[in-house]
Chain A
Amino acid sequence: MASLTTASAAADVVIEIGGLPIRLSTDDPAFVEMLKERYAGFVTSGTKAQIEFDVMLAPADRMMGHGEIRVERESGQWSMGRGDFEADWNPRTARGIIRQSANPYSLNSVLRIVHTLLLAEQGGFLVHASSAVRNGRAFLFAGVSGAGKTTMARLAPPDVTLLTDEISYVSRQKDGYYAYGTPFAGDLGRLGENMRAPLAALYLLTKGTENKIEPLGPAEASRALLENILCFARDSEVVRSVFEAACDFVCRVPIRRLTFVPDARVWEMIA
């Protein structure tokens, strides 16, 4: 496993998602400028980062392909990769190295993985869901591709603040669950607002011929939630944490099935 040494960084940027600032340092100022633009709204300045990554950029032809994401833990250090990136991260030292080409997509994947690992320790998770805030409370709309996550985001009325149309960030805190805005955008192509709100409900989306909300039993809700939670690591401890987090969430947050006609009237039911 590679050692985590410090690169001679020429530029850096701190990206804060879910209240967790991560510093990315590289010797390519142009790449940092691209990240600042890509993660606008989630870039913080003058912040002490909780995690530091050195980003070692390689020519694109040396970091190609996609394939399966690999996330493994060895001697307390995480190693992750896909065809287009390789990364190591030591949670004890809060430092890591990312090797990739100068594209934001690979970095986006690393950030998602790191956040899933951190959230799993705290009873939270990333979930395939759009999310939005209305009247100070957050609502999640979960489902597989095509279920209507982006549709719900597009149909949101002006008094609704969008947190994401693709990957929602759920954090468990002392006084309950909170949803945070994320820069993980889907088909809408628009970043969420960098804010948080207490979670009011999670809806499992189904497109239909009428608008209706139906209750779900705890087992069905758990199954559906687990199907939508992002868990990249083939690691027993993480899998257990995610399972427990999902079950705890189902016991504490209302989960409903939302069947909806894809027009603006569906938001009359969300308040």
Chain B
Amino acid sequence: MSEKCYVARSTKIAARMMGDEMMIMLAPDSTLFTLNEVASVIFNAADGTTPLEVIVAERVCSEFDVELEAALKDAEHVVKELAGHGVLLVSDEPITPPLAFAQVAR
């Protein structure tokens, strides 16, 4: 995954924080996901314009006692998995909906 990696929440999901877990449902097929605390922080910060590295440094490392390198590696793994399910969109350029969504989601 490139260093300049941008992530955005898909528009094809419904999401709600229930207690301390983020519940996500894929709108097209009703698949349900639950994110842990770290993944929830990344998901919430995935605005399409903040690089993943910045999200990890400023949000994950500040909230959880983890080293940047290790946290970034874990975050990239989480993002790749969620992107594979269509929960997140990933691009090496900032993602600004709706045009960028169409470009990235193809």
Contact = CB atoms under 8 A, between A and B. Distances in A.
B30 interface: yes
A218 interface: yes
A219 B34 contact: yes
Given A236-B12, A239-B14, A243-B16, A219 B23 contact: yes
B98 interface: no
Nearest to B30: A239
Given A219-B18, A222-B18, A240 B27 contact: yes
Interface residue tally on A, bucketed by range = 10 to 19
A158 interface: no
A244 B23 CA distance: 11
Contacts of A218: 18-19, 21
Contacts, number: 49
Contacts of B27: 236-237, 239-240
B1 interface: no
A250 interface: yes
A56 to B, nearest CB: 31
A250 B25 CA distance: 16
A223 interface: yes
A242 B14 CA distance: 10
A234 interface: yes
A242 B23 CA distance: 13
Contacts of A231: 30
Nearest to B12: A236
Contacts of A114: none
Contact of A243 (B12, B25, B29): B25
Contacts of B28: 234, 236, 239
A247 interface: yes
A242 B19 CA distance: 19
Contacts of A244: 14, 16
Interface of B: 12, 14, 16, 18-21, 23, 25-30, 32, 34
Given A217-B19, A240-B14, 14 more contacts: A217-B18, A219-B19, A219-B21, A222-B18, A226-B32, A231-B30, A234-B28, A237-B27, A239-B26, A239-B28, A240-B25, A244-B14, A244-B16, A247-B23
Q: Which 7 A-B pairs have the closest CB atoms?
A: A236-B27, A219-B21, A218-B18, A218-B19, A243-B14, A240-B14, A243-B25
Interface of A: 217-219, 221-223, 226, 231, 234, 236-237, 239-240, 242-244, 247, 250
